[in-house]
Amino acid sequence: MRKNLVIATRGSQLALWQAEHVKACLESLEPGLNISLRVIKTRGDIILDVPLSKVGGKGLFVKEIEEALLDGSADLAVHSIKDVPMVLPEGLVLGCVPQREICVDCLLSNRYASLDELPRGARVGTSSLRRQAQLLNLRPDLEILSLRGNVDTRLRKMKEGEYDAIVLASAGLKRLGLSADRMHHFEAASFVPAVGQGALGIECRGDDSEVLELLSRMEHRPTRICVEAERGLLAGLDGGCQVPIAGHAEMLDDGTFELEGLVGEYRNLSARLDAPQRQLFDDTLVQAIAEQGAEVMHCATMLFLGMVDDATTFAETHGGGSGGSDLKWGRDEDEDNRAWALRCMRMASRMMRPAIGKKPKR
């Protein structure tokens, strides 16, 4: 094992905490190892005056960091896994998914202890379409205002009175030791988190056997399974920052996992995020794993995770049906299991689209 490694990271307070945390863990696992940090500014760090949903594109917070991995100026990168696209650049792999931190969202305020306590028309800060959608589903009277910046910056703006409340990830608050006078942690079942929220992903070169072996010692298999299932859902729906999609997976005692997905439909979104039209919601927050295509998505996700050897049964079963007759479930000659499964997830999403807007079946 070589003695010097470089971690590429963003420069925010939270990103640096996460990189330092991984650095400390790896150095404790490999005595004599010296790890340095290389701070890289990404496109997402530079564009702060526009909501992410308006910026467009995938990999806003990782592209420049991945370029450092590919050119050899960094050996590994620590990401908030919710920022990492499903398909990585050729030559790079997600070498490790450590144990997940708390994955829910938190409402913070100077005066109000819960969402119910907020007065009518209260100003709530968030630039996440997923959070905005769920907030307006629960409280259509709220005024949603755009909120960008680092965690500490967002918290400062709320404390200075720009917002009556803001919504942030509980994991970031816990990692940085930040708080507000009033805090309410939502339950995942009632306010579904972002895909991968609270989890880290450590990316490296696929041919770097030394780093891969080192990272394997930090791997947390239950977290990997849940995160990959959530990411498979997002990929299957072709989701990104422009679509309000949520996903939360949880391992069960019998070794299987339960995956819940929610999709919000935006019919009429104002040009400004801080002035959304109130027609945003009409019973359109639904489980993405629903109705037609649910079993297809489940089997394809299992295949993607390597929890089954093939998808012959599901391919035979779902070759027809609503939206299925024109879909090609068969494996192409040049496809491995993961590529095949990912394509099937995307096709399954076409079968699920008619279910969006309907109440989920219980």
- Amino acid at position 86, single letter: M
The H or E element spanning position 184 is strand 182-185
Q: Quote the DSSP letter at residue 247.
A: E
Q: Are strands 143-145 and 123-125 parallel, antiparallel or unpaired?
A: parallel
Q: Quote the DSSP letter at residue 193.
A: P
Query: For residue 348, how many other CB atoms are within 10 A of its CB?
Result: 29
- Amino acid at position 280, single letter: L
The structure tokens 């801080």 sit at 274
- Give the residue among 152, 155, 133 at the shortest CA–CA distance from 142: 133
- Amino acid at position 131, single letter: R
Residues catalogued as catalytic: 83
**Treating both helix axes as pointing N-terminal to C-terminal, what angle do 13-29 and 209-216 enclose, rounded to 10 degrees?**
90
- Which tokens is 156 given? 């400062």
Residue 273 burial class via C-beta count within 10 angstroms: exposed 0-12, middle 13-18, buried 19 and up: buried
Q: Alpha-carbon distance 313 to 306, whole Å?
A: 15
Q: Alpha-carbon distance 233 to 230, whole Å?
A: 5
Alpha helices in the chain (DSSP H): 13-29, 43-46, 52-55, 63-70, 129-138, 151-159, 170-176, 209-216, 221-236, 294-304, 312-317, 337-352
